[in-house]
A and B are shown apart, each in its own frame.
Chain A
Amino acid sequence: MYRIRFHGRGGQGMKTASRILGTAFFLEGYEVQDAPRYGAERRGAPIFAYVRAAKQTIHERGVIQQPDLVIIADESLASVSSAGTLIGIDKHCVLLIVSNESPESWKHRLNLDCTVLTLAYEQLDIHQISYAGIVCTGAAARLTGIISNETLQRAIKQELAAFDESVVANNLHQALDAYKKMAEHEACVQKSQEISADNYQAPEWITLPFDDANISAPAIHASANSVQIKTGLWRSFRPVIDYQHCKHCWWICSTYCPDGAINVDDSGQPQIDYDHCKGCMVCVAQCPSHAISIIPEQQAEVAAPEVTAIPGDKR
Chain B
Amino acid sequence: MNRVLLTGNGAAAWGARLAQAEYIPAFPITPQTEIIETLAQWIDQDKMTARLVTLESEHSMITAAAAAAVTGVRVFSATSSQGLLYAMEMIYTVSGWRAPFVLVNVSRGLASPITLEPDHNDVLAARDSGCLQIHCSTCQEVLDNTLIAYRLAEDPRVRLPVIVNLDGFYLSFTREPVLLPEIESVKNFIGEYNPENMRFRAHEPMSHAVAVLGGAPYSYFRYQTHLAVENGLAVYDELAKEFEQQFGREYGVIENYFADDADYVFVMMDSFATKAKDAVDKLRATGWAIGLLRPRLIRPFPAERFRTLLSGKKAVAVIDQNISMGMGGVLHSELCTALYGQPQTPEIVASFIGGLGGRDITVEEFFEIAKSIRHADEINQTPSPRLLYTETELREIRKLQSLANVKLHGFGETS
Stretch from B80-88, B167-175, B215-223 that touches the partner: B167-175
The answer to the question of A214 belonging to the interface, with a C-beta cut-off of 8 Å to chain B, is yes
Stretch from B234-242, B296-304, B359-367 that touches the partner: B359-367
In the complex, what's the smallest C-beta–C-beta distance from A247 to chain B, in angstroms?
42
Interface size class of A (residues with CB under 8 A): 35 or more
A210 — which chain B residues lie within 8 A by C-beta?
Answer: 414
In the complex, what's the smallest C-beta–C-beta distance from A33 to chain B, in angstroms?
6
Given A32-B176, A206-B394, also A195-B364 (CB < 8 A): yes
The contact of B360 among A19, A32, A63, A220, by CB within 8 Å, is A63
- Cross-chain contact A222 with B362 (CB below 8 angstroms): no
Given A65-B362, A210-B414, A215-B406, also A32-B272 (CB < 8 A): no
- Cross-chain contact A197 with B367 (CB below 8 angstroms): yes
Given A195-B364, A197-B288, also A32-B169 (CB < 8 A): no
Contact with A along B4-28 (1 / 0, CB 8 A): 0101000000000000000000000
The answer to the question of A245 belonging to the interface, with a C-beta cut-off of 8 Å to chain B, is no
A63 — which chain B residues lie within 8 A by C-beta?
Answer: 360
A211 — which chain B residues lie within 8 A by C-beta?
Answer: 410-411, 414
Interface centre among B112, B175, B274, B281 (most CB of A within 10 A): B175
Stretch from B60-68, B122-130, B183-191, B383-391 that touches the partner: B383-391
Stretch from A54-62, A130-138, A140-148, A181-189 that touches the partner: A54-62
The answer to the question of B205 belonging to the interface, with a C-beta cut-off of 8 Å to chain A, is no
The answer to the question of B405 belonging to the interface, with a C-beta cut-off of 8 Å to chain A, is yes
CA distance A254 to B80 in the complex (A): 38
- Cross-chain contact A208 with B282 (CB below 8 angstroms): no
- Cross-chain contact B364 with A201 (CB below 8 angstroms): yes
The answer to the question of A163 belonging to the interface, with a C-beta cut-off of 8 Å to chain B, is no
The contact of B367 among A31, A200, A212, A220, by CB within 8 Å, is A200
Stretch from A35-43, A101-109, A113-121, A295-303 that touches the partner: A35-43
Contact with A along B226-261 (1 / 0, CB 8 A): 000000000000000000000000000000000000
The contact of B404 among A201, A203, A207, A222, by CB within 8 Å, is A222
Closest A residue to B401 by beta carbon equals A215
What is the predominant secondary structure among interface residues of chain B facing chain A?
mixed
The answer to the question of A256 belonging to the interface, with a C-beta cut-off of 8 Å to chain B, is no
Contact with A along B396-415 (1 / 0, CB 8 A): 00000101111110110011
CA distance A218 to B114 in the complex (A): 10
- Cross-chain contact B282 with A194 (CB below 8 angstroms): yes
**Which residues A169-223 have CB closer than 8 A to chain B?**
194-198, 200-212, 214-215, 218-222
CA distance A32 to B177 in the complex (A): 7
Given A31-B177, A201-B364, also A60-B278 (CB < 8 A): yes
- Cross-chain contact B368 with A203 (CB below 8 angstroms): yes
What is the predominant secondary structure among interface residues of chain A facing chain B?
loop
- Cross-chain contact B405 with A222 (CB below 8 angstroms): yes
Interface size class of B (residues with CB under 8 A): 35 or more
Given A204-B392, A205-B386, A205-B388, also A35-B405 (CB < 8 A): no
CA distance A91 to B403 in the complex (A): 34
CA distance A26 to B362 in the complex (A): 26
- Cross-chain contact A209 with B415 (CB below 8 angstroms): yes
In the complex, what's the smallest C-beta–C-beta distance from A223 to chain B, in angstroms?
8
The answer to the question of B146 belonging to the interface, with a C-beta cut-off of 8 Å to chain A, is no
The answer to the question of A166 belonging to the interface, with a C-beta cut-off of 8 Å to chain B, is no
B116 — which chain A residues lie within 8 A by C-beta?
Answer: 39-40
CA distance A221 to B285 in the complex (A): 51
**Which residues B274-318 have CB closer than 8 A to chain A?**
274-275, 277-279, 281-283, 285-286, 288
The answer to the question of B79 belonging to the interface, with a C-beta cut-off of 8 Å to chain A, is no
In the assembled complex, 28 residue pairs joining A and B whose CB atoms fall closer than 8 Å, in A order, are A19-B5, A26-B177, A33-B175, A35-B7, A36-B173, A61-B170, A61-B174, A61-B271, A62-B170, A63-B360, A196-B282, A197-B279, A197-B282, A197-B286, A202-B364, A203-B365, A204-B390, A205-B365, A206-B389, A206-B390, A206-B394, A208-B387, A209-B414, A211-B410, A214-B406, A214-B407, A220-B404, A222-B404
A35-B169, A215-B406, A221-B406 given; 15 more Cβ-contact pairs under 8 Å:
A22-B175, A26-B5, A26-B177, A35-B7, A59-B275, A195-B363, A200-B367, A204-B391, A204-B392, A205-B365, A205-B391, A211-B414, A212-B410, A218-B113, A222-B404
A binding-site residues for B, Cβ under 8 Å: 19, 22-23, 26, 31-37, 39-40, 58-63, 65, 194-198, 200-212, 214-215, 218-222, 225
Q: What 4 pairs between A and B have smallest CB-CB spacing? A: A222-B405, A221-B405, A59-B278, A35-B174
